[in-house]
Structure 1
Amino acid sequence: MSNPPRVRHISECFIKPQHALEESKRPFYLTPWDLNLLNANYIQKGLLFTKSPAADDREDSIKTLLGRLKRSLSVTLVDFYPLAGRLVTKKGENPPSCLISVDCAGGPGARFIHAALDMTISDILSPVDVPSVVQSFFDHDRALNYDGQTMPLLSIQVTELEDGIFLGCSMNHCIADGTSYWHFFNTWSEIFQAEGHNISVTRPPILDRWFPEGYGPIINLPFTDQDEFISRIEAPKLRDRMFHFTSESIARLKANANAEYNTNEISSFQSLSALVWRCITRARRLPMIRLLWELASMVAGVATAGELFEQSLGWAAWQLHQAVVNHTDKMVCEFLDAWLQSPSVSRVGRFLDQYSVRIGSSPRFNMYGNEFGMGKAVALRSGFANKLNGTVSSYPGYEGGGSIDLEVCLPPDSMSVLESDEEFMDAVSVSHSDLYL
């Protein structure tokens, strides 16, 4: 049996900002939220495009594309200058501590990789599960944010397929959250399309970090060695599958959830999340124990397996609605005050196990609005980063209009049960990628 094709790296370089702003010459200090993510992986998301059929000279066409991507990236980094820097650590002795910040001007810039793979778009989109080779479309495989001491904070990989281009971006999660990540991508796309014209970024990033009164911008962590707060774990064997939900399917879930709980306050996403929570719990065949549903690390709903099985979709959705309602400024400030009194770094997987479901990313992000001379992307895919048992990532559906794609990661046996769950699969629809093929 022949070995499957592998991604080949053709070239690599580093891209610096086209010019340096005065503020980029100063240290960029991290907030408690940033420091708490030192143990997490980089954000890894990417877009799959079809090659232009009008390209007569394939070699010249890719050369032109790479040149435009590099030039527009250099311009984009002027405003997003922390992404061109490196993390640096300054240690203190009395008391023992470490200060981690970003040296915006001291790094070589963002890494830019040109790679190739002898596969087609169909090879990537047609399998039921996301092929493992997709992880090779991203740099920084398995890297932690703390590794930004020696690794670029931003890395772009352009992978040529036989009939397509995959544009993968790996970004340090301490520097950017999901909103900032896609803001960067949207700005890069805007600048790419404006090449040759007067370029004015319509929405510059807000880089001023907020610190509670009496704290910051310098926050020292009470550690002397990285082994005291950094932990690397390897996820168990997982299946990674995309599920598509049309706006009509989600509207039915919302209507049913609200009717079952005699309310009109449950949102579309809360209804869909409740369905996922119930069905993944059922697929795991867990005993009647306490379970956690978590959205973006902060908003959490708790129930027992028995409650999720015995109660309706509307009941589960209402628990999530209440979790969102109770996510107040007071609660956030209390968490922040406690962290500042005893700074720590979250351990990857500490709260994500066989009893938890965590939903990240957001269908509200403008993902399909990014164009780089190849038309609209045909699909979204992600890398290895932050995928554990029960991780669910939410993306907008290709057709828009409130449709949603969910990327679900589960052990093989649990995924097989989920695929046979009538309640879940009745809500799943044919995706654009299926139609594309």
Structure 2
Amino acid sequence: MGEAGSSDVVVQAPAPAAVKVLAVSRIAPSLKDEGRLKLSFFDTPWVGLPPVQQVYLYHLDDDNDTDDGYFPAIVSRIKTALAETLAHYLPLAGTLEHVPDTGDLVVDWSGSDVGVAFVEADAAAGMDVRRLAGDETHDLAAFLSLVPELNTGVLPAPLLSVQVTRLGAGLAVGMSMHHAIVDGRGAWRFIEAWSSASRVGSPVTEALGPPHYGRDVVSHPRGGDELARVLLKIVAPNLPVVTKGVRDTSQRFRLARRTFYLGEDDIRALRRRIDDLAQAEGDTPEPKKPVSTFVALSALVWSAFVRSKGLGVGGANKEEDTYLMFHADLRARLDPPVSDAYLGNCVRPCVARCADAAKIAGEAGILHAARAVQAAVAEMAAAPLTGTDESGFDTVRQLPFSRVANVAASPRYKAYEATDFGFGMPARVEMVSMNHDGEMMLVGGRREGEVQVSVSIDPAHMDALKACILGTSK
């Protein structure tokens, strides 16, 4: 188990210098086609939320630091690959638009200005890639300067923008994507196709087939179009001006961020600890359900969140409830199932509950947390579409967010392999758009079997959270 920078020399530096924008262009799909699609009931809950922002940091050969042609060559390569990939992922090159006559939101890629904003930038010496990739504590101001803007507040709205920034002998690729068009699995599939086009010359390979995005593959018993309009009125009642919805990003700069890495041995030990606690407490249901990596890590970060916040330890907090929220991919659970190649949202919220936070904070807290997560997964598996309507949305919106930990992404996302554009895997992959106290991101790490855990929490509780994560996982 380790933290970011634990195996590297961390270089201290002053506050990051401003990033200088060199050029802004529009990358159009290499093969154009015209089309539009209506957002589904899975898509519309995400309309009012800020864009998903990621950054990938790369070490490059120091000898190329002074080569004036090296950075333009990389930029050209990434641009060409993006154009080739967008030809298969056409909705990402379009815009999100409101149709007043029907009340629908549609993605349209029929106009002459179809394409993606592409920013080329340069950073001063203060934005050294070694420091940014090695620091345990995130330099949020620096990370935000390495991802492009994406104005999703007024329709029509773009769906994707990209920024490539030179960092001395390093490089940053930043991306902002509208969540209303795609979920995590779809986004990572696009990124993998884009990096494949740059690395091997094609976004479609034997291992990575073309996407499909027709929303007719997902349906709801009460009528998907009707439900989409109902949800849209809840999340964005003032179209074409989009409200911020349930997530407020105003506290982003008040939160502390850190990244930890759990190796294969750490995760095995964590699962074994849960099993040992279950045996000691006689909590071994038959048939015994194995503790998955996701369940084990979710239990770890939830119990760490509860302990670090002092929930359930006495006083006013003694008998408070606590929750863990995550989203489950429904592709394989729908009838008929939806393929992995679906470019759209196909997830539903799941909420693990514990009426007494003291149980999660106690010695066997990680076991209670794991059982609650397993129960939420079982509830979802029994009725996959439950919680996808307005009642489910209201349930999530009414949660006491000060006592809610939120786990996003998945250890199954091979974030480092998926972002090899042909000049090696990145030194660091980070989700920049973490906006809430208690938000945790899980993705596959750089090493085999490793999982990267990035956390966002009130600075007053970060040291306690760190101690809980490092201590409980051993």
CA contact (8 A) 1:28 1:104 kept: no
Residues 14-62 of structure 1 show CA distances to partners (whole Å, capped at 9, x for unaligned) of 11111123xxx23211111110111222111221111134538622111
Query: Equivalents in 2 of 1:80, 1:350: separation in Å?
Result: 36
Query: Equivalents in 2 of 1:257, 1:318: separation in Å?
Result: 10
CA gap of 1:327–1:214, structure 2 versus 1, over 3 A, is closer
Q: Which runs of 4+ in 1 moved over 6 A?
A: 344-349
CA gap of 1:382–1:247, structure 2 versus 1, over 3 A, is same
Residues 213-236 of structure 1 show CA distances to partners (whole Å, capped at 9, x for unaligned) of 563557434476237854473126
Query: Equivalents in 2 of 1:176, 1:318: separation in Å?
Result: 30
CA gap of 1:55–1:373, structure 2 versus 1, over 3 A, is farther
CA gap of 1:308–1:427, structure 2 versus 1, over 3 A, is closer
1:211-360 alignment, distance < 5 Å = 211-212=219-220, 215-216=223-224, 219-220=228-229, 221-222=232-233, 225-226=238-239, 230-231=244-245, 233=248, 234-235=250-251, 237-262=254-279, 263=284, 264=288, 265-286=290-311, 287-288=317-318, 289-296=320-327, 298-303=349-354, 304-310=356-362, 312=364, 313-328=366-381, 330=383, 332-336=384-388, 338-339=389-390, 351=399, 353-360=401-408
Report the alpha carbon displacement of residue 349 of structure 1 after superposing the two structures with TM: 7.3
Residues 61-112 of structure 1 show CA distances to partners (whole Å, capped at 9, x for unaligned) of 11111111111111100110001101111214xxxx7211111222441111
Comparing 123-132 and 287-296, the one that deviates more: 123-132
Report the alpha carbon displacement of residue 260 of structure 1 after superposing the two structures with TM: 1.5
Q: What corresponds to 1:12 in structure 2?
A: 24
CA contact (8 A) 1:15 1:74 kept: yes
SS at match of 1:398: coil
Report the alpha carbon displacement of residue 350 of structure 1 after superposing the two structures with TM: 5.8
CA contact (8 A) 1:359 1:394 kept: yes
CA contact (8 A) 1:137 1:168 kept: yes
Query: Equivalents in 2 of 1:320, 1:84: separation in Å?
Result: 37
Query: Equivalents in 1 of 2:225, 2:325: separation in Å?
Result: 29
Residues 97-134 of structure 1 show CA distances to partners (whole Å, capped at 9, x for unaligned) of 72111112224411111111122122213433100211
Q: Compute the RMSD of aligned alpha carbons.
A: 2.8
Matched, 1:175 2:181: yes
Which of 104, 111, 115 aligns to 2:117? It is 111
CA contact (8 A) 2:59 2:130 kept: no
CA gap of 1:138–1:4, structure 2 versus 1, over 3 A, is closer
Matched, 1:416 2:457: no
Give 1:398's aligned amino acid.
R
Q: What corresponds to 1:27 in structure 2?
A: 36
Q: What corresponds to 1:435 in structure 2?
A: none
Q: What corresponds to 1:434 in structure 2?
A: none
CA gap of 1:187–1:129, structure 2 versus 1, over 3 A, is same
Query: Equivalents in 1 of 2:242, 2:170: separation in Å?
Result: 44
Query: Equivalents in 2 of 1:276, 1:345: separation in Å?
Result: 24
SS at match of 1:333: coil
Residues 324-345 of structure 1 show CA distances to partners (whole Å, capped at 9, x for unaligned) of 1221252x32334x43xx8x97
CA contact (8 A) 1:98 1:224 kept: no
CA contact (8 A) 1:83 1:153 kept: yes
Matched, 1:375 2:397: no
Residues paired across the two proteins, number: 409
CA contact (8 A) 1:84 1:105 kept: no
